[in-house]
Copies of this chain bind each other. A is one copy, B any other.
């Protein structure tokens, strides 16, 4: 058979490195589409002049463009036969990506655990995105539940020891970043690092109603090929599941309203897609401040945020039910570090 059947649980070997296919040059077109697909307004990613005033060579591509592009490359090898995308962790952006850069991706299998039913298992991979100079620009761990296809013996269980959070000493600040002369008026809000308190919750107020054409355009743009997003005949209920990354980008863009100065994502501590989302749902978001640290870069602080996307109808700030399960309205919980002016 010439087509890609995807891999099954028994096809992964601990330690193997998978080079993902189809490198991608990203340019001004992807930036414009990102602004059309999401209500993105962080000034550093909107204006070359603003970014230059912050010490960068120009406006980088949104950190989530990098994330989605790298993630999309992994789908044919990692999650084509996935039952569930279970989580993300220990992720870091290691260098800015500019229009004209070309990205490729590779993943190493760092953990395997067959489920007790023998029908599936969990695969842990550490994925890296590299640019045309072979510099690693993104590094994160993802784990997915994958179907078994053959009745093979279970591999030895190895569960990687992942940190709950990327410790501040491991955050990588883009070279040259300087928020000393940061223009709060141009950025859109006056709130700086010192204005946020640990534990503080922010309701981002705005909502976006999901459309089939929009989530499909977005998911395709990142060359993500998972059938369930595009083919209405794939699920029994005839619905197309919205790519989790579309939820991440929508929620992160909505978080501008209240966190306009949390400019750059530098670490992905943890992330989970709590419930499925479909066209017609209206998505809202709230954030909570989990931690704050200063950094060595001039004027640059780091803020650790919990970003939660939820469906209209619920109230903000709900997260889990008493039994620990996610509230049925919650679509996404994302724990990340962002850079913000002191």
Chain A residues engaging chain B, CB cutoff 8 angstroms = 2-4, 19, 21-25, 27-33, 35-41, 43, 46-50, 59, 76, 99-100, 102, 104, 132, 185-189, 191, 195, 202-209, 211-214, 216-218, 220-221, 223, 225, 227, 230-234, 240, 257-260, 282, 312
Contact = CB atoms under 8 A, between A and B. Distances in A.
Most chain B CB inside 10 Å of its own CB: which residue of A19, A76, A206, A218: A206
A329 B104 CA distance: 38
Given A24-B47, A37-B220, A207 B187 contact: no
27 contacts: A2-B202, A3-B204, A3-B258, A4-B188, A21-B187, A22-B46, A23-B46, A25-B48, A27-B31, A27-B32, A28-B29, A28-B32, A29-B33, A32-B221, A36-B217, A37-B217, A46-B223, A47-B102, A50-B102, A207-B230, A207-B233, A207-B234, A209-B232, A209-B240, A214-B216, A231-B282, A233-B312
Contact of A39 (B21, B104, B202, B230): B230
A333 B195 CA distance: 46
A223 B38 CA distance: 9
A214 B212 CA distance: 10
A312 B232 CA distance: 10
Nearest to A53: B23
A202 B1 CA distance: 8
B132 A49 contact: yes
Given A225-B206, A231-B206, A32 B32 contact: yes
B220 A36 contact: yes
Contacts of A4: 188-189, 257
Contact of A41 (B47, B207, B223): B223
Contacts of A22: 41, 43, 46-47, 186-188
Given A24-B47, A206-B230, 12 more contacts: A2-B259, A3-B202, A4-B257, A23-B47, A27-B28, A35-B220, A36-B220, A207-B231, A208-B230, A209-B230, A209-B233, A231-B312
A227 B33 CA distance: 20
A91 to B, nearest CB: 24
A227 to B, nearest CB: 6
Copy tally for this chain in the complex stands at: 3
Nearest to A131: B49
A34 to B, nearest CB: 9
A285 to B, nearest CB: 11
Contacts of A33: 29, 32-33, 36
Nearest to A195: B2
A185 B23 CA distance: 10
Most chain B CB inside 10 Å of its own CB: which residue of A32, A59, A187: A32
Contacts of A2: 189, 191, 195, 202, 258-259
A189 B22 CA distance: 10
A102 B28 CA distance: 13
A16 B205 CA distance: 28
A62 to B, nearest CB: 13
Contacts of A240: 209
A279 to B, nearest CB: 10
A290 to B, nearest CB: 16
